[in-house]
Chains A and B, each alone.
Chain A
Amino acid sequence: MSDQQYRVILAKLGLDGHDRGIKVVARILRDAGMEVIYLGLRQTTGSIIAAAEEEDADAIGLSMHNAGHLTLGPKMTASLNDARLDIPLIIGGIVPDEDIEELLESGVAAVLGPGASAEEVVSTVRDAISARDET
């Protein structure tokens, strides 16, 4: 599978302006050989779905720091289902430990928090894509 070029969408939803993390992650994934479609700030679930369809993304990464993850995370997975898009969703940023289970249950593939190393970021994205590919 190493010969395949993964295409990953990175975005932030709504008014959350913390974009250091997403920029770091974009760079990490690029340096791991992936193609990052960088959508940046102020996206909506609708704009992310449109980008995912047009770009034929292998994964979607959301970076969240505004405590909106418990509503926006499940909303994003529901939108993906409605659009019949079988694309893993990975969430990073500020997610309290006790919320992780709920996110995973709503269909989020993985959750990463502050201090995640470059290796962790890369392997989390890779694993989420290969887990989807095996189904």
Chain B
Amino acid sequence: MKSSKETIPQLFEAALSGERRSLGKLLTLVERGGETADDVAGLAHRKAGNTHVIGITGAPGSGKSTLTGRLLELFSQTGHNSAVLAVDPSSPLTGGAILGDRIRMDDLTDENSFIRSMATRGHSGGLALAVPAAIQLFDAVGYKPVIIETVGVGQVEVDVAGAADTTVVVVTPGMGDAVQANKAGLLEVADIFVVNKSDRPGANDARRDLDLMLDLGHISGLEEKTGYRPPIIMANSLEGTGSQEIIEAIENHANHLKSSGSIKVRQDQRTLMEIQNRVELLIGTTAKETLSTEFGKAMINAVLNRETSPAQAAKSIVNSLLND
């Protein structure tokens, strides 16, 4: 075990005073999970609640990291300390990962920004805990805003986007990206659309596709219900065009959240989800342990002998937990 001589409260104090090394170590503890992670998250939670969380999601290679680098640059110029949590998938075969997001951001960053790469480590349940806890840590030590980058390919990513106050969905010209994004459920979570790589042919088509889909929201009444229509911003993140507009759109969305009161709804929903995730994880772990007790083994045998069904066995096991 990498020996850290400092206690958790010491690391937390140091992180509060701006020491990056300590914040880096705390993030590792949060990522590892377990009791220690809970201790760290407990300290962070008390001080959190002041940041704005921006989720950036989209297909692999759409330019999320390059764009994030641009945003970091602008935030830094206006005196903001911003943090990035860049989430990438772990290899399901080996558990290893190549985390390559920060090289796209590095050139543009300085001591005002903090970038942390995180691998999904195979379990979405764990990620669902580590991501909010990491955000709270950044929040607690004063990073504002906090940006989460995730590859938008599936439910996990949509969940992670749920941890954000403002979700930016990045699409690129060509290959029906907008339609793909729709399939992946990304359109519903988008607060802002960015057509990145707008230097490429087909950028205007992508914009029109998105506009058409948003019109459907207009027709279905979704737009009226929320009082908000996600803007579509054209960007070339290699050059940095569009980044200023994106920041303005984020501010605009933040204001909308405040004035419409939906910020409260989102935060309540997020808190509920976080507790729910933890409950499920705790029960899941305990249930797994029960399966290897005498009682659990008897249940498994009963199902194997067709004396009871898997569903009934599961109910008995959960009931035994609740009556403990």
Provide the main secondary structure of the chain A interface.
Answer: mixed
Cβ–Cβ < 8 Å partners of A84 in chain B: 21
Taking A53-B20, A53-B24, A54-B116 as contacts, is the C-beta distance between A36 and B99 under 8 angstroms? yes
Which of B100-108, B254-262, B277-285 lies on the face that meets chain A?
Answer: B100-108
Cβ–Cβ < 8 Å partners of B103 in chain A: 38-40
Which of B89-97, B150-158, B166-174, B204-212 lies on the face that meets chain A?
Answer: B89-97
- Is A51 interfacial (CB-CB < 8 Å)? yes
Closest chain B residue to A84 by CB distance? B21
Provide the main secondary structure of the chain B interface.
Answer: mixed
> Shortest distance in angstroms between B300's beta carbon and chain A's nearest beta carbon?
26
**Cα of A30 to Cα of B90 in the assembled complex, Å:** 9
Closest chain B residue to A129 by CB distance? B2
> Shortest distance in angstroms between A28's beta carbon and chain B's nearest beta carbon?
10
Cβ–Cβ < 8 Å partners of B20 in chain A: 50, 53-54
> Shortest distance in angstroms between B229's beta carbon and chain A's nearest beta carbon?
37
**Cα of A83 to Cα of B24 in the assembled complex, Å:** 14
Mark B1-45 against chain A: 1 for CB-CB distance below 8 A, else 0. Answer: 111000000000000000011011101100000000000000000
Mark A25-67 against chain B: 1 for CB-CB distance below 8 A, else 0. Answer: 0110111111111111001000100110111101000000000
**Cα of A39 to Cα of B96 in the assembled complex, Å:** 16
Q: Do A5 and B121 touch (CB < 8 A)?
A: yes
- Is A133 interfacial (CB-CB < 8 Å)? yes
Taking A4-B1, A40-B103 as contacts, is the C-beta distance between A32 and B27 under 8 angstroms? no
Taking A38-B103, A133-B3 as contacts, is the C-beta distance between A54 and B94 under 8 angstroms? no
Mark B208-244 against chain A: 1 for CB-CB distance below 8 A, else 0. Answer: 0000000000000000000000000000000000000
- Is A85 interfacial (CB-CB < 8 Å)? yes
**Cα of A5 to Cα of B164 in the assembled complex, Å:** 27
**Cα of A34 to Cα of B97 in the assembled complex, Å:** 6
Q: Do B116 and A55 touch (CB < 8 A)?
A: yes
Q: Do B97 and A39 touch (CB < 8 A)?
A: no
Taking A32-B96, A54-B114, A55-B116 as contacts, is the C-beta distance between A39 and B2 under 8 angstroms? no
**Cα of A4 to Cα of B31 in the assembled complex, Å:** 11
Q: Do B94 and A55 touch (CB < 8 A)?
A: no
Taking A35-B119, A39-B103 as contacts, is the C-beta distance between A53 and B96 under 8 angstroms? no
Cβ–Cβ < 8 Å partners of B119 in chain A: 5, 35
Closest chain B residue to A1 by CB distance? B1
Q: Do A34 and B96 touch (CB < 8 A)?
A: yes
Taking A37-B99, A53-B21 as contacts, is the C-beta distance between A133 and B2 under 8 angstroms? yes
Cβ–Cβ < 8 Å partners of A36 in chain B: 96-99
**Cα of A56 to Cα of B99 in the assembled complex, Å:** 14
Q: Do B100 and A38 touch (CB < 8 A)?
A: yes
Cβ–Cβ < 8 Å partners of B27 in chain A: 56
Q: Do B99 and A83 touch (CB < 8 A)?
A: no
- Is B115 interfacial (CB-CB < 8 Å)? yes
- Is B267 interfacial (CB-CB < 8 Å)? no
**Cα of A32 to Cα of B57 in the assembled complex, Å:** 28
Closest chain A residue to B84 by CB distance? A54
Contact of A55 among B2, B100, B117 (CB under 8 A): B117
**Cα of A119 to Cα of B321 in the assembled complex, Å:** 46
Taking A36-B96, A83-B21 as contacts, is the C-beta distance between A51 and B2 under 8 angstroms? no
Q: Do B98 and A27 touch (CB < 8 A)?
A: yes
Q: Do A39 and B3 touch (CB < 8 A)?
A: no
Cβ–Cβ < 8 Å partners of A34 in chain B: 96
Q: Do A32 and B24 touch (CB < 8 A)?
A: no
**Cα of A55 to Cα of B97 in the assembled complex, Å:** 14
User: 13 A-B Cβ contacts within 8 A?
Assistant: A7-B28, A27-B98, A30-B98, A31-B94, A33-B96, A35-B90, A35-B99, A36-B98, A37-B102, A40-B100, A53-B21, A54-B116, A85-B21
